[in-house]
Amino acid sequence: MVHSQLKGIDVVSIDNSEITLRLPYDPSMVGNPDTGALHGGVITMLLDQTLGLSGIAHDQVGTHITPTLDLRIDHIGLPKGDMT
């Protein structure tokens, strides 16, 4: 997945029930400089990459590109806890 490579996303693990990706922190991805929280678009991009990889990894789509036709995220607030 070329976009993942360009953004530095690494596949940490894939098993039967879980996929873990890692996106290195980059200050340009911050959406709120006061809190350091990532921009919602970055979180959505990571979610989209994870879902696409899930379909490929579990042989639901073969190796074909599966474009996202619609993805909606409602951001209701910052999560609690450590943001690192």
pLDDT tens sequence across 5-24: 888 899 999 887 788 999 99
Asked whether residue 21 is assigned to any structural domain, the reply reads: yes
Q: Is residue 83 one of the residues assigned to a domain?
A: no
Question: What is the model's pLDDT at position 12?
Answer: 92
Q: How many CB atoms lie within 10 A of CB 45?
A: 19
Residue 32, domain extent: 2-57
Residue 59 Cα to chain centre, angstroms: 20
In a domain, 62, yes or no: no
Q: Is the pTM of this model over 0.75?
A: no
Tell me: the pLDDT tens digits for 31-84?
888 888 888 888 888 988 888 888 787 776 666 667 788 888 887 776 676 756
Does residue 23 belong to any structural domain of this protein? yes
48 within some domain:
yes
